Amino acid sequence: MNKENKTAAVIKYFFPDAWRKTKGYFILSVVNLLIAAAIPFVDIYFLPLLVDSMTADVKDIRTICFYGGAMVFFDILLQVLNSTFSVQLEKYADFFLNDSSVEISRRCMELDFALTENKEALDQIKKAREGLNWSGGVHEIAKAFFGIISNGLRIFGAAAVLAVNAPLLLLLIAVLLTASTLINRKKNDIDIKNFTELSGINRIFGHICWEMEDFRYGKDIRLYGAAGMMIEKASQQINRLNDYWKRINDKKFPLNILDIIVTAARDFGTYLYLGFLAITGKITIGTFSQLLTAGGSLNTALQGMVFGFQDIVKRSSYAYEIVKFMEYPPYMEKGNRRIENPEGGHTIEFKNVSFTYPGTDVQVLKNTSITLRSGERLSVVGLNGAGKTTFIKLLCRLYDVTEGEILLDGVNIRDYDYEEYMKLFSVVFQDFRLLAFSVRDNVFLGNEEPDETADSLLEKVGLSEKIASLPNGKDTMMFKQFDKEGVELSGGEQQKLAIARALYKDAPVVILDEPTAALDPVAEYEIYKRFDELVGGKTAVYISHRLSSCKFCDKIAVFSEGTVKEYGTHDQLLRLKDGIYAEMFKAQAQYYI
C-alpha cells in the first residue's frame, strides 16, 4: 500500500471512532484551526493602515493609535485563544494514546489463539505497539491534519493578497518551496526506510530489558550469574542504536545545509523584489510592509502545509501498523450454529484427525480417532511430547484440525458459534496463569458473586484456611505487581485456585491438563482425586504422563507418536501383551500401591 493510501486508511480507521468517543475534541480543533488561520491576517490587515497613517503627510494621532491598538488587541486575543485551546487539546493526547493502547490489548485477547503462537502475528503486535508510540497516536495525527487545513486557509488568504500586488513574488516562493519540499521528503524517506531496522533493534532491546525485569527469570538469572551477560547484551543493543542514529544524522546533514541555503535565498529574493517595488514608488510603504508580512505568512503556511503533509504521512505509516493488526485476518472460520442443550451432555468425536502446527511441517497428531461420551471420565496418558496437550487444544478449538474432523453431537465443531462452543469447556491448563488481581477476581473474573459462593468454592478446592490466613482474605492481591502486600502462592495452591476458577465456570466438560511438573506423584494423585470428587457427573478429561489420574477414569487413551495407541479400561490395558500402558504401570506402580 502506498503512503497516501495508508494515511487515508489511518484517518478512516481512527477518526470516526475518536469522534464517537469525544466530539468535543474535534469541535475544539476546528475552532482552533480557524483562530490559527486568522492570526497572520490581523497584521496583514492593520499593518499597512498603521504604516500609511504614520507616514502620511498629515498625521492623525488618533487614527495611528486606533490602528496600532486594534492590531495589538486582536493579535493578543487570537494568540491567547489559540494557545489556551492548544493546551486544552494537548490534554487529549494521553487519552487517545491510552485508548488505542487498550484497543490493541483488547484485540490481543480476542485474537484467535493459534495466532498467539504465530511469529508473523506476534511481530505485528509489536509493530502495532511501536507504531502507536512512533505515530504519537490520534492526537498527533489529528493535529497534523487540522494544521494542514489551517495552513491551507492562510495560504489562500496570503496568496490572494500577493496575487493582487506582487504576482512575481508568488512565483519565487512557489519555486523555492518546491525545493524545500523535496529536501524534506528525502529526510522523511530516510526515517521511514530505516524504521524497520530501528524497530528491530528496539524490539530486541525491549525484550532483553523485559527478561531482566521479569521475576520469573529471577531465580535462574541469580543462580547462574546471568546478570552480567544480560547487561552486556543490552549494551550491545545500545551501541547498535548509537551507530544507527549517527548513520541517520550523517545522511541528513547535507540535506539540512541545503535547507538553510534555500530559506536564505527565499528571504533575500523577497526583500529584493518588494524593496524594488517600494523604491520605484509602485507601492506605498504601508503596502510594502503588508506584502512583506503576507509573503512571510505565505512562506510559513506553505512550509507548515508541506511539513504537515509529510508529518501526517510519516505518522500514518507508523499508525498503519496498528490498523494492520486490528484488521489481522482471522485464523479460523467461525460458524453460527447454536448448540442444542448447551448445558446438557454431549458426545465429542475425533474422526481421523491429523494436525500439524501452523508454520511447521511435523505432524503432531496422526489419524487419531476417539470418542468422548457425555459423563465419561477419560484419562489421556503418554510420554512428554506425545501430543496430549495438542489433543486438548484441538478439542477446545484453539486450533483447527489439519485433516479429519471433530464432531460435537454429530456436527463438525467448525459449524458452531465459536463463543458458545468455548463455553462447553472448563480447562485447567498445565501452564495456566493467575492474574495479578485479587483472589476473588481470579475466580470470578469480574462477576459479582456473594461471599458464600467464594467460600464454598475455596472450601471445595481446599484453600479456605490458606486464603483466610491472608491479610485481606479473598481480597488479597495475587503477586506484588499492584500491591506490596500481594501474595505468592505455591505452585500447588495456585493450581487449586485455578481449579476453583474452572469449577466456577461450571461447564459441562472439564479438563485437567498435567498438573505442574514440580508436583510429586502423590501430590498429583491428591489433586486428581480432589478434582474428580468436584467434577461430579460432568464429562472429564485428565491428562498426565503419570498414571495418577487413571484410577478414576472409565476409559484410558494412551497417546504415543501422535496417535492413540491403546484405548480401554485400566484392566483391559493391563492385559495387553507388551502394552505401553502395562509397561508404564509397572514402572510407576510403586507410587500408587
* Site of interaction with ligand ADP (CB under 6 A): 117, 357, 360, 364, 382, 384-390
User: Which is closer to ligand ADP, CB of 398 or CB of 443?
Assistant: 398
Q: How far apart are the first and last CA of the chain?
A: 67
Q: Is 367 in contact with 353 (CB distance < 8 Å)? A: yes
User: Which is closer to ligand ADP, CB of 393 or CB of 501?
Assistant: 393
Tell me which residue of 346, 344, 335 sits closest to 400, measured CA to CA: 335
Three-state SS string over 370-411 comes to EEECCCCEEEEEECCCCCHHHHHHHHCCCCCCCEEEEEECCE
We find the least distance from the C-beta atom of residue 385 to ligand ADP, in angstroms, to be 4
Q: What is the DSSP letter of 42?
A: H
We find the least distance from the C-beta atom of residue 517 to ligand ADP, in angstroms, to be 10
User: Which is closer to ligand ADP, CB of 384 or CB of 590?
Assistant: 384
Instruction: Tell me how far the alpha carbon of residue 117 is from its chain's centroid.
Output: 16
- Per DSSP, the residues of 69-92 read HHHHHHHHHHHHHHHHHHHHHHHH
User: Which is closer to ligand ADP, CB of 86 or CB of 516?
Assistant: 516
Which residues, other chains included, contact 165 with Cβ-Cβ below 8 Å and sequence gap of 6+?
A: 283, 287, 290, 291
We find the least distance from the C-beta atom of residue 585 to ligand ADP, in angstroms, to be 18
Whole-angstrom distance, CA of residue 553 vs CA of residue 533:
12
Q: Is 395 in contact with 348 (CB distance < 8 Å)? A: yes
User: Which is closer to ligand ADP, CB of 116 or CB of 300?
Assistant: 116
Whole-angstrom distance, CA of residue 99 vs CA of residue 102:
5
Q: Is 540 in contact with 372 (CB distance < 8 Å)? A: no
Tell me which residue of 119, 105, 94 sits closest to 25, measured CA to CA: 94
We find the least distance from the C-beta atom of residue 571 to ligand ADP, in angstroms, to be 24
User: Which is closer to ligand ADP, CB of 213 or CB of 361?
Assistant: 361
User: Which is closer to ligand ADP, CB of 424 or CB of 557?
Assistant: 557
User: Which is closer to ligand ADP, CB of 108 or CB of 198?
Assistant: 108
Q: Indicate the burial class of 343 (C-beta count within 10 angstroms; 0-12, 13-18, 19 or more).
A: exposed
Q: Is 528 in contact with 366 (CB distance < 8 Å)? A: no
We find the least distance from the C-beta atom of residue 564 to ligand ADP, in angstroms, to be 12
Q: Is 161 in contact with 296 (CB distance < 8 Å)? A: no
Q: Is 306 helix (H, G, I), strand (E, B) or coil?
A: helix
We find the least distance from the C-beta atom of residue 437 to ligand ADP, in angstroms, to be 27
We find the least distance from the C-beta atom of residue 386 to ligand ADP, in angstroms, to be 4
Q: Is 345 in contact with 538 (CB distance < 8 Å)? A: no
User: Which is closer to ligand ADP, CB of 386 or CB of 478?
Assistant: 386
Q: Is 372 in contact with 378 (CB distance < 8 Å)? A: yes
User: Which is closer to ligand ADP, CB of 85 or CB of 585?
Assistant: 585
From the CB of residue 96, how many other CB atoms can be counted at a distance below 10 Å? 23
**Could you tell me where the DSSP H helices lie in 490-579?**
491-505, 521-535, 570-575
Whole-angstrom distance, CA of residue 123 vs CA of residue 118:
9
Whole-angstrom distance, CA of residue 447 vs CA of residue 11:
37
User: Which is closer to ligand ADP, CB of 147 or CB of 382?
Assistant: 382
We find the least distance from the C-beta atom of residue 549 to ligand ADP, in angstroms, to be 14
We find the least distance from the C-beta atom of residue 390 to ligand ADP, in angstroms, to be 3
Whole-angstrom distance, CA of residue 540 vs CA of residue 528:
11
Whole-angstrom distance, CA of residue 218 vs CA of residue 244:
31
We find the least distance from the C-beta atom of residue 524 to ligand ADP, in angstroms, to be 15
We find the least distance from the C-beta atom of residue 543 to ligand ADP, in angstroms, to be 7
472: cell is 485481606
We find the least distance from the C-beta atom of residue 117 to ligand ADP, in angstroms, to be 4
User: Which is closer to ligand ADP, CB of 288 or CB of 429?
Assistant: 429
